[in-house]
C-alpha cells in the first residue's frame, strides 16, 4: 500500500506528530508513505519526498510541518483538480491523507465525492473551531504560548501599575481567548461571539484598581467586535463581516481603556508566535493518535472519513459531515470564564 | 454561605487553580471561603486561613498548594473524625470541599455517609488513575515536564551514542509513562500493567542501532515489573505487590540494557521534579473549571458529590461511586503506543 | 544602619535579585532596609515598605520589581528634590540605594553632589547601553526571550516559506539585536549604529532563497534607520533623532522586503514581552551580586559610587563618571555578527 | 584552506554553535571545513562528514554535538597518534580545531608540540573549571536547567513542608553549585572546595524553620566532601580523592538532614539533564564567537593556540599554558554566596 499525505493551510504545532503516526502505522502494515510538498500544490505538481518510518521519530518535537504548506485550493482554478487525479495515478497511490482545516478538508471531501479518490482527512486548526472534533492539535500549544507570554507581561504590568491588552488569534471564534483568559487570570476577555461592551470593561478595571489590584490584564480576540460607536474613532475600517479590521484591535482597545479609565495602558500583539514552537505533550499525543488512526483507516480502506477526537477516543466521521460548519465557543465556557469577569 | 476547602495527599500543579475557582464562585454568590491548612490535619486542628477572591488571581500560576498538604487520614486514629465534625461546627461551616486523591476523597465520602457532613470532592492525582474522571489536573503539566526532560536528554544521548533510561512516576498505573512515551518518541516503554520482557526490549534496541539510530530512549514507570528472573540480580527487593522495590527500577533496567546489548546506557530518575512547576494551560483551565463547579455544587447544596471531567464537560458524580477503584491504563492507549515499539 | 532602596525607570528582570542581595547583606551587618515605592516618587512622598531579609528569598524568581517603578524625575519639578532630602531625614535614613538607568542614576549622582546625600547607584537597563559596566542585568533574560520567540517563529516561517521580520528593543543601541541575531542565526540584523541598506539585505535574502534556504529571519532594532529614501514611503514620520518613528519599523521593513524580493514576509513586534518574565540564571546572579556589593558599599560608607561588572568582578565606580554617556554597540560585535550576514 | 574540527569528551550545549561559527568563518575566507566524528576516534579512523556553511544555521539551536563525541585519547594507545598524523595528511588538511576539555585540548597541545600539527583549541567544560577562560559555554545553559528544576521543586517542597536536596554536577569544582545556589535562593550549598559541616547546615535549616520558612533548599556538588564522620555511615565508599563515591551524595545528605533536623527531606539528582537541552542565548553567543575566532586563527595560521573569553573579548592563549590546571571556584564567589547561608 502506498499512501500520500499533505499538510494545507496555516501551520500549527503537531503536524509532524500526525505525519509520524501515519508513516509508522502504514509501515507497520507493510506499506509506504510519501509526503506531498506545500499542501495541494504538491498534489497538483507531483512534488513529494519519501518518508522513512524511523527517521520520523526525529520530527516529533518540531513545530510546523516538514512538508511545507500553502493555501492552494485546486477547486479555485480550472484543471487543477484533474492534475491531482493524474498525480494520484502516476504515483500509483492507494490513499491520500489530507491534514488541514476546513478548506483543505473540503477539497478532500469533494475529491472523494466527485472522483472517488480514496481520501482521508485529519482536522487541523489552531483556532479549535472545527465542528466534528472535541479539540484540535496546536490549540493546546498555542494556549501555553499565550499563557507564558501573559505570565511574562504580568510582572512588568504590575511594576508600572499598567493595564496590559494582549491581542490573540481568533477571527470568528473565541476559543483561544476564553481558554487563555481562564489560564491567565485575565480581568477581561473579548471574543467574536459577543459584542464587546467597552464601558462595562472599563468600569471593571477601574473598580479593581480602586480595590487595590495594581495592574490589569485584558485578552482580546483579533476578531472581537466593539459595541456601539461611542468609543471608536470614525475611521475604523471594517471587514466583510462588519468586524473592525484585524491586526489592530489590541491597540485600539488599549487606547480606549487608557482614555476612559485614566490608567496607563499598553498592548502586545502575539501574532505568529502563536503558531510556532515545539508542540506541547497534549498536542504531540493528540497529533500522533490522529495520525495512527488515519493510517488504520487507510489500511482498512475506509475512505471519505475524517479522524476526530471524542472524549478519550479517536473516532472516524464522514468528511462530508465534518466540513463546512465553523464551531464557535460553547456558551458553557463563556459562562465559566464569566465567574472571573464580574 | 461559609465554605472550607482543603488539599490532601501528594501535591500537584493545578491545586491553586481549583482553590481560586472555588473561592471566586462562592464569592460571586455572596459566600466566603476559608482554607484549612495541611489537608485533614487542618480540619482536625481547626487551623485555617481566609481566602480573598481577588488575591487568589495571583495564585493561579503557582505550583503546589498554598494551603499545604499532608497524608493525615482521620480514620486511622480514633477520635480524629469527631474533631473534624467539631471544627465544622465551631467554624460555622456550611460546606467542606476536599481536593485530593482516593484517600482524601474516601474520607470526604465517609464523612458524608456517616456524619451527614455536607462534603464535596474534587479529584486530584498526578498519576491520572482515578476512575470517575477522564483526566486529572497535574497530569498534563507532569507530561510536559517529562517531555522537556527527555527532549533535553535526547541530544546528549545522541552525542554519546547512548541508550538513556528515564524513570517516571506511576506505581500502579502507566498513564504517565505511556503518554510521555508517545510524546517523547520513546523506543520502549515499561508500565505496571504489563510484565516487562527485557529480552524483547533489548532486541528492539539492538535492531534500531543496527538500522542506524544512534541513540535509544526508554521510559519506565517506577512500578514496572520485569518478567522472569534471568536478568535480575537475586537481591532485588520487592514490595507487597511483588514489584521490585521502587526508586531504583531505572538504574536496574539501564544495567540490564547495557549488559545485554553492549550499548553504553545511562539512567535518570525525574522524581519530585514531576510534581513541581507552574501548571500548564490545560491544568489551569481544568483545575479552575473543577473549582467553579465545586463551588456551584455548594451553592446548590448538592452534597456527597465529586466534580469530574467527561469529554468537554464538568459533571457531578456520587463520591461513594468515585472512590475505591484505581483506573489503570486503557488497552487502547497501549495499543496505540505499540505502533512505535515494534 | 537604615538603608532605603528604590527602583526607577523601565522595569526589567533581576531588579528583585538586587533588592534581595542588598537587604540580606545589610541585615547580615545588623542593619535594616526599607523599599521606597515607585521610584523617586516614593522618595518624594515618603511612601515605603519594610523589607524582611528572609522573605526576600521568595522574590528572587519574580520578574519586575516588588517596589514598583516610575519615570518621576525630581529635578524636573521645583521643590521635589528638597522633599527627597526631607524624606531622607524624617525616615532617619543612613543611605539611599538607587537602582535604575541613566536618568535614575543621574538623580542619585546630583543628590550626592549637591546635597551630600549618601547615595549609591546600581545600573539597570535592559538595553545594555550603560557605559561603566560590562553587562547589565535583564539583558540576558531579554536575549533568551527574543531567542525563544525566534525559535518558535522559525518553524512557522519555514512551513510557509516566508521571511519573518522581528522587531526588538533598542532605540539608540543595537546590543539586543546584535546578540540575539547571533543567537538566532538571523539572516540580517538592523541596528541603530549603522544606516540600514535595504537593497543589500534584500539581495542577501534572495541569494539565500536561490541557494535553497526555505525561510529568512530578520531582526530589527526599534531604532534602526533605513538608508536613503528609495524604499520608504514619503509619510514616514521621524523622531527628533531623525529615526523613523518607533513602533512600526518592523512592519515597514517587512513590506519593503516582500515588495523587493517577492517573498511572502510577515512581522512580529515583541514589545513588552522583552521586559517580562522570571530572570535567567545569569541575571539572578548578576543582580544578586550587585545588590550585595551595593550593601557592602553602604556598610563601608563609600558614597557617590555605582556598583559595576568588570570581567568576573564587581567593582565600584564614581556615579558622576558612570552617567551621561550612552554605550553603543562595540564594532567588534558587529564585525563578528557580520560573518553570518554575507 | 581545508580545516577539520572535532568535539571530544562530555557533550554540552553550545558545541554546535562553535561548529557553525567556525564553518562560516572559514567559508567566508574561501576555505572548507569537515567534521571528524566522535572526537579523536574520527581523527584516528579518518571518519568525517562535510560541513555546509548555510546548513549549519540549522544546528545552532541544537544541544549536544552533531559530530558525536567520545573519550578516546590517542596518547593512551601506542600507534594511535601516528594514525592521526596520517589522517591529517591523507585528508590534505591545513588545520585541526579540537573542541573539548582538558583531556581533548591536551592531545591538541601535544600534537602541535611533538608533530608540529597545526592545531587550534576551543575550551569546553560544562563545569566551568578550565583555567584560561572566564566562562565556558554550556555552563550557563546548565545553570538555567538547574534553576528551572529548583524553581519547580520549590512549590512541592513548600506544599509538603520539606527540605529538598538537589545533587548537581561538579566533581572537583563548585561553580555550578555556587552560581545555581545564588540563582535558586538555596539555604545551603556544598561544594568540593570546602569540607562540608553538616552539623552547621542542619542548625541553619532548623533555625529557618523555627523562623517560619516552610521549606528548605539545599544544593550539593556531586563531589562535595562531608567533614568528620559523625554523620556518615561507615560503609561510605571513597574515591581516590578521598571524596565519598559519586552518585549518591544527595541521598546521603538528605538522610542526614532528615535524621538530624526531624524535617521530612527528599532528594533529586539532576544527572544528565544538566548536559542537555538547547543552548541558552549566552552559550549560543559565546560558542559562536569562539568558533569565529578559532576560524580566524586558522586563517592567520596562528597555531598551537586556544581561543578564550576574557571580559568582553575573545583572545588567543597558548594551548600549552591553557591545559593541565583545573580552576576551582574563586573564594570571591563563595564569599558572596555566603551572605545567604548565614
User: Which domains, from first to last, does chain C contain?
Assistant: 2-130+279-322 (3.40.50.450), 139-276 (3.40.50.460)
Give the Cα separation of A28 and A50 in Å (integer).
16
Which residues in chain D (77-106) have CB-CB distances under 8 A to chain C?
A: none
Pairs across A and C, CB distance < 8 A: 104
**Residue indicated by cell numbers 541575531:** C181
Q: Active site includes A127?
A: yes
Given a cut of 80, whether residue C246 has pLDDT beyond it is no
Residues of chain B with pLDDT under 50: 229-234
**C-beta of residue B239 within 8 angstroms of C-beta of residue B185:** no
pLDDT at B232: 47
**C-beta of residue A187 within 8 angstroms of C-beta of residue A238:** no
Confidence of residue A231 (pLDDT cuts 50, 70, 90): very low
**pLDDT, mean over chain C:** 94
Chain B touched by A110 (CB under 8 Å) = no
| The dihedral formed by the CA atoms of A316, A320, A322 and A327, expressed in degrees to the nearest 10 | -170
pLDDT at D88: 98
Give the Cα separation of D101 and D65 in Å (integer).
14
CB contact under 8 A, D273 and B153: yes
Backbone angles phi, psi at D46, to 5 degrees: 70, 30
pLDDT at C78: 83
pLDDT at B230: 45
pLDDT digits (tens, 9 = 90+) for C194-243: 999 999 999 999 999 999 999 999 999 999 999 874 444 445 555 555 55
**Residue indicated by cell numbers 576551543:** D122
Long-range (24+ apart) CB contacts under 8 A made by B203-207 are B204/B341, B204/B342, B205/B163, B205/B257, B205/B261, B205/B263, B206/B261, B206/B263
Helices C281-300 and D331-338 cross at an angle (nearest 10°) of 80
Chain C touched by A28 (CB under 8 Å) = no
B10 is in an annotated binding site: yes
pTM (predicted TM-score): 0.95
Give the Cα separation of B141 and B278 in Å (integer).
8
| Residue B117, C-beta contacts closer than 8 angstroms, at least 6 positions apart | B84, B85, B88, B96, B111
Reading the block at residue C133, the C-alpha cell is: 559596566
pLDDT at A248: 87
The neighbour count for residue A312, using CB atoms within 10 Å, is 13
Average pLDDT for residues C275-292, to the nearest whole number? 97
**C-beta of residue A59 within 8 angstroms of C-beta of residue A16:** yes
Lowest mean pLDDT among A224-233, C192-201, D121-130, D167-176: A224-233
As beta bridge partners, residue D221 has D168
Given a cut of 80, whether residue A13 has pLDDT beyond it is yes
**C-beta of residue B120 within 8 angstroms of C-beta of residue B300:** no
Interface confidence (ipTM) of the complex: 0.94
The neighbour count for residue B122, using CB atoms within 10 Å, is 30
Average pLDDT for residues C235-254, to the nearest whole number? 68
Given a cut of 70, whether residue A171 has pLDDT beyond it is yes
B292 is in an annotated binding site: no
Contacts of C312 in chain D (CB under 8 A): 134, 330, 332
What DSSP string describes B227-282?
SSSTTS-TT--B-TTSPBPSS-HHHHHHHHHHHHH---EEEEE-GGGGG-SSPPHH
- Higher-confidence position of B233 and C251: C251
Contacts of D282 in chain C (CB under 8 A): 140, 143, 280, 282
Reading the block at residue C230, the C-alpha cell is: 528609495
Confidence of residue D230 (pLDDT cuts 50, 70, 90): very low
Confidence of residue D228 (pLDDT cuts 50, 70, 90): confident
Give chain B's radius of gyration (CA, Å). Answer: 22
Average pLDDT for residues A192-218, to the nearest whole number? 96
**pLDDT, mean over chain D:** 94
Give the Cα separation of B108 and B304 in Å (integer).
8
Given a cut of 80, whether residue A239 has pLDDT beyond it is no
| Residue A174, C-beta contacts closer than 8 angstroms, at least 6 positions apart | A189, A191, A192, A193, A194, A221, A224, A328, A329, A334
For chain B, list the contacting chains (3+ Cβ pairs, <8 Å): A, D
CB contact under 8 A, D271 and B266: yes
CB contact under 8 A, A154 and C269: no
Give the Cα separation of B90 and B98 in Å (integer).
18
Sign, Cα dihedral of A10, A11, A12, A16:
positive
For chain D, list the contacting chains (3+ Cβ pairs, <8 Å): B, C
Percentage above 70 pLDDT, chain C:
94
**C-beta of residue C109 within 8 angstroms of C-beta of residue C121:** yes
The neighbour count for residue A82, using CB atoms within 10 Å, is 12
CB contact under 8 A, C273 and A153: yes
Backbone angles phi, psi at C233, to 5 degrees: -65, 150
pLDDT at C236: 56
Alpha helices (H) in C187-330, listed in sequence order: 198-210, 249-261, 281-300, 319-322
Task: For residue A121, give the 3-state DSSP assignment.
Answer: strand
> Strand order of the sheet with strand A2-7?
A48-51, A32-36, A2-7, A95-100, A119-123, A305-310, A313-318
Which residues in chain C (216-275) have CB-CB distances under 8 A to chain A?
A: 266, 268-269, 271-273, 275
Give the Cα separation of D35 and D43 in Å (integer).
9
pLDDT at C228: 72
CB contact under 8 A, C179 and D285: yes
Q: Answer left, alpha or beta for residue B255, where phi above 0 means left and psi between -120 and 50 means alpha.
A: alpha
Give the Cα separation of C123 and C104 in Å (integer).
9
Contacts of A37 in chain C (CB under 8 A): none
Q: What's the per-residue H, E or C state across C95-106?
A: EEEEEECHHHHH
Give the Cα separation of B93 and D2 in Å (integer).
81
**pLDDT, mean over chain A:** 94
Reading the block at residue A127, the C-alpha cell is: 483556532
D189 is in an annotated binding site: no
Given a cut of 50, whether residue A232 has pLDDT beyond it is no
Contacts of D332 in chain C (CB under 8 A): 312-313
β C48-51/C32-36 pair status: antiparallel
- Burial status of residue D46 (CB atoms within 10 A of its CB: 0-12, 13-18, 19 or more): middle
Pairs across B and D, CB distance < 8 A: 104
pLDDT at B181: 98
Q: What is the DSSP letter of A168?
A: E
| Residue A331, C-beta contacts closer than 8 angstroms, at least 6 positions apart | none
Give chain C's radius of gyration (CA, Å). Answer: 22
Average pLDDT for residues A150-164, to the nearest whole number? 97
CB contact under 8 A, B152 and D276: yes
Q: How many residues does chain B have?
A: 342
Out of C151, C332, C340, the one facing D24 most closely (by C-beta) is C340
Lowest mean pLDDT among A234-238, C150-154, C157-161, C331-335: A234-238
Give the Cα separation of A249 and A221 in Å (integer).
8
Give the Cα separation of A27 and C213 in Å (integer).
30
CB contact under 8 A, C292 and D339: yes
Amino acid at each position: 500500500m502506498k499512501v500520500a499525505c499533505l499538510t494545507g493551510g496555516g501551520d500549527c504545532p503537531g503536524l509532524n506528530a500526525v505525519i509520524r503516526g501515519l508513516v509508522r502505522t502504514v509501515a507497520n502494515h507493510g506499506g509506504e508513505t510519501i509526503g506531498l510538498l506545500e499542501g495541494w500544490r504538491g498534489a497538483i505538481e507531483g512534488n513529494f519526498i519519501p518518508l522513512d518510518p524511523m527517521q520520523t521519530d526525529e520530527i516529533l518535537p518540531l513545530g510546523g510541518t516538514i512538508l511545507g504548506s500553502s493555501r492552494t485550493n485546486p477547486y479555485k482554478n480550472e484543471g487543477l483538480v484533474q492534475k491531482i487525479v493524474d498525480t494520484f495515478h502516476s504515483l500509483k497511490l492507494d490513499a491520500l491523507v489530507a491534514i488541514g482545516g476546513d478548506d483543505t478538508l473540503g477539497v478532500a471531501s469533494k475529491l472523494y465525492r466527485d472522483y472517488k479518490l480514496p481520501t482521508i482527512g485529519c482536522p487541523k486548526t489552531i483556532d479549535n473551531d472545527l465542528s466534528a472534533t472535541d479539540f484540535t492539535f496546536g490549540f493546546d500549544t498555542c494556549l501555553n504560548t499565550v499563557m507564558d507570554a501573559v505570565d511574562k507581561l504580568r510582572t512588568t504590568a504590575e511594576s508600572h501599575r499598567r493595564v496590559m491588552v494582549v491581542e490573540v488569534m481568533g477571527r470568528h471564534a473565541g476559543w483561544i481567548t476564553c481558554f487563555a483568559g481562564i489560564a491567565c487570570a485575565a480581568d477581561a476577555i473579548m471574543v467574536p461571539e459577543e459584542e464587546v461592551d467597552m464601558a462595562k470593561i472599563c468600569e471593571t478595571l477601574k473598580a479593581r484598581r480602586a480595590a487595590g489590584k495594581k495592574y490589569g490584564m485584558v485578552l482580546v480576540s483579533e476578531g472581537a467586535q466593539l459595541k456601539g460607536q461611542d468609543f471608536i474613532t470614525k475611521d475604523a475600517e471594517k471587514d466583510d463581516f462588519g468586524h473592525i479590521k484585524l491586526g489592530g484591535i489590541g491597540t485600539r482597545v488599549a487606547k480606549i481603556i487608557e482614555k476612559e479609565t485614566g490608567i496607563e495602558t499598553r498592548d502586545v500583539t502575539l501574532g505568529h508566535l502563536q503558531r510556532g514552537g515545539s508542540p506541547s505533550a497534549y498536542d504531540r499525543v493528540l497529533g500522533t493518535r490522529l495520525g495512527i488512526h488515519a493510517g488504520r483507516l487507510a489500511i482498512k480502506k475506509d475512505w471519505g472519513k475524517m479522524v476526530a477526537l471524542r472524549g478519550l477516543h479517536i473516532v472516524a466521521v464522514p468528511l462530508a459531515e465534518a466540513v463546512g460548519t465553523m464551531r464557535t465557543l460553547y456558551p458553557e465556557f463563556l459562562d465559566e470564564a464569566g465567574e472571573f469577569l464580574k
